[in-house]
Amino acid sequence: MMEFIPPATRFVALPDGFKLKRGGSLTGARMAYETVGRLNAARSNAVLILTGLSPDAHVCAHEHHPAPGWWDGMVGPGKPVDTDRWFVVCVNALGSCKGSTGPASVHPATGRRYGPDFPPLSLEDLADAAAHVVRSLGIEQLAVVVGASMGGMTALSLVARHPGLTRHMINLSGAVHAEPFAIALRALQRELIQSDPLWQQGCYEAADRPLSGMVAARKLGLLSYRSTQDWTQRFGRQRLDPALAAAAGAPAMGFAVEGYLACHAQRFVRAFDPNAYLALSRAMDGFDLGDEAQGDADAALRHLQLDSALVMGVDSDFLFPVSQQRQIAQGLQAGGVGVSYREVSSLAGHDAFLADLAQFGPPIAAFLSGIDSGRLVGSDPSGLPHPAERLRAPQASSTLTAV
């Protein structure tokens, strides 16, 4: 068994012959999801959360699974995404190993895991599969789709490919396509995994996964999720206690940062399938919203059908730099969408939407409150973005300003 499924996960079957953008199709496939909160009588309070590369569908603690979720500080009763008000649906990405069909799943025609024979995946496929979950739950239109990192890319694809499925969007540290630097990092991660002697061209057994390659790849990923200043502030040149170093698999008399990377990487690789990691990594690299508009991503943004959007980025994020979030905000605004743009100053880098909830939470709560009261949040009377200005206060603004 190589799938790692939270105990409260539910499933929706995908239609047989589910077509994939890059060729091929899936039969007998399923999507994993969890819901929190209650759908109102009008079915108008649904919020869809699309994850980054590695999370499962357990976004927060709830009565059927009280353990903390991966975004517990953001989602739940009385939290920014208030489940006393909103019916939250979180899906595990197609291609993952956390319940949705992916390379670690059993191929119904062979009775064996797909492994490297899983068909090439795209983020458009993830968007289409998530849209199927929403409709299967009897929801004709979402109030909001929320996506961060890979989920932010998937959210853009969902809005483009399923016009009218959502009225509003929250896009956190997303992009219309990956920058060359991010592609290079992920290519190196894949190379590290495939260089492991246990890789076996992706045909490894469950008990003999290429864990050394995965550990190295995950360490590289962890480094890219935080800013250099954050690493300095958290660890400096602190040394590990020799006993702790041995337990973490770090060198004797190693540095504290080595122990941190070793510990977190080991914990991750025990719960993630290498083939799934490669499939989703390649899907991120291959995504380009411009495919929806003859190669013009800005044109694709202008054609997205939304009432309003909150777009947020982080000044220290070098994996998804803020220039990419500005592009999303300006493209949406040029198409007539009411946009609220927030540029957060944080040392947490790409991980800030998870680690710096004090800065991400209030704008998200304010945006959702505006939707609930029927106001169009973030509309700019001029219709034109002005140059970003760094402000101290995180209050809502109607123009493209940085806070």
Active site residues: 149, 317, 350
According to DSSP, the residues that pair with 11 across neighbouring strands are 32
DSSP assignment of 290-308: GGGGTT-HHHHHHT---SE
Interatomic CA distance for residues 125 and 21, integer angstroms: 6
DSSP assignment of 112-152: SB-GGGSPP--HHHHHHHHHHHHHHTT-SSEEEEEEETHHH
> Do the beta carbons of residue 304 and residue 159 sit within 8 Å?
yes
According to DSSP, the residues that pair with 339 across neighbouring strands are 309
Q: Which contacts of 194-200 are long-range, i.e. CB under 8 A and separated by 24 or more positions?
A: 194/278, 199/274
According to DSSP, the residues that pair with 106 across neighbouring strands are 113
Interatomic CA distance for residues 328 and 153, integer angstroms: 10
What's the chain's Rg over C-alpha atoms? 21
Interatomic CA distance for residues 289 and 300, integer angstroms: 7
313 backbone dihedrals φ, ψ, rounded to 5°: -140, 175
DSSP assignment of 163-228: TTSEEEEEEES--SB--HHHHHHHHHHHHHHHTSTT-GGGT--GGG--HHHHHHHHHHHHHHHS-H
DSSP assignment of 241-281: PHHHHHHHTPPTT-BHHHHHHHHHHHHHHTTS-HHHHHHHH
Structure-block tokens of residue 133: 């979950």
Element (H, E) at 35: strand 30-36
Interatomic CA distance for residues 371 and 360, integer angstroms: 17
Three-state DSSP state, 363: helix
